[in-house]
Structure 1
């Protein structure tokens, strides 16, 4: 999360009040790309669990770099771990799905984050990434606003993100297009790199 951890730590108590709810239908469509049943999911950069709370899964864990966010996730009854998205404290091949919702642009280096997500996925597991397209008018406005407030955000166009997922050993599928887009990456041939 670049230098964005401090602001998110301070923003944690208000996050649920100010941020819109994640769309469960989009998340479920991403999870449906998995070549296995999804029971264990890890919400990376998940803050207070805004996305994973929308999904009825047997095992849901939030990982965030901001201590305030992990505390908030626990108040929602979620398991939460303080950690770095580019060095996940999770065993290889141990989760069915990894979610990164509206957060990848705060993480870096992004190729390390994607490789780590691929590493922890079980055979046939899926990485679901929801992001904002900087090539759209509203997307450019969001990029400008994030930089104006001092975030180190780096945004990717959908095709560029799909290419990075493929380099990480995942077969990309576009689930949703638009200002907010969703790309899923499935572990190729049942195995992540």
Structure 2
């Protein structure tokens, strides 16, 4: 995660009061790309659980680095554990899907985050990312605003993320374009994910 963690920790009590609800329909469209049933989802950098709370699935887990945000997620009845998005505290092949909702721009090493997600998503499962396109007019305003208040945000276009998903072993696609966009990456098959002779942990 980035140096923005401390800011979110301080902001935790007010976060859900000032942030609009996550777009459930957009997340479901991304999850629909999965090639397996989705029963267990992890919300990476999920904060108060703003994203995953909008999804009706049997098992919902939040991973975040800000203690204040984790307390808020637990207050909402969610399972929540402390962890770095680039080194997820989860077993390999332990979830059907992962989501990152309006948070990737706060994560310094996107490639490490995608590799970590790819390792915990089961074959045929999906990583869904909701982000903001910095090349749009509203995107340029958002970039300037976040930097003005001191966030270390780094934004990416949807096509950039699709390429980086591929590098992590996830078959990426742009589900929706625009200021707020959705990309999804499907985890490779069992054989492709674990070559012969490679031991699982």
With normalisation by structure 1, the TM-score equals 0.98
The alignment covers a number of residue pairs equal to: 193
Contact preservation (8 Å) 1:86, 1:108 = no
Q: Secondary structure at the match of 1:162?
A: helix
Instruction: Report the counterpart of residue 130 of structure 1 in structure 2.
Output: 130
Question: What's the RMSD between the two structures over aligned residues?
Answer: 1.0
Distance 1:120 1:152 in 2: 27
Which stretches of structure 1, 4 residues or longer, exceed 2 Å deviation after superposition? 188-193
Distance 1:90 1:109 in 2: 18
Contact preservation (8 Å) 1:122, 1:192 = no
Instruction: Report the counterpart of residue 186 of structure 1 in structure 2.
Output: 186
Distance 2:174 2:158 in 1: 8
Instruction: Give the drift of 1:2.
Output: 1.0
1:166 maps to 2:135: no
Instruction: Give the drift of 1:173.
Output: 1.4
Contact preservation (8 Å) 1:121, 1:192 = no
For structure 1, which runs of at least 5 residues remain unmatched after alignment? none
Instruction: Report the counterpart of residue 16 of structure 1 in structure 2.
Output: 16
Q: How does 1:1-193 map to 2 (within 5 A)?
A: 1-190=1-190, 192=193
Instruction: Give the drift of 1:189.
Output: 3.2
Distance 2:172 2:152 in 1: 26
Q: Secondary structure at the match of 2:146?
A: helix
Distance 1:52 1:76 in 2: 11
Distance 1:14 1:175 in 2: 31
Distance 1:189 1:176 in 2: 25
Distance 2:136 2:182 in 1: 15
Instruction: Give the drift of 1:192.
Output: 4.2
Distance 2:66 2:110 in 1: 18
With normalisation by structure 2, the TM-score equals 0.94
Instruction: Give the drift of 1:132.
Output: 0.3
Distance 1:77 1:142 in 2: 31
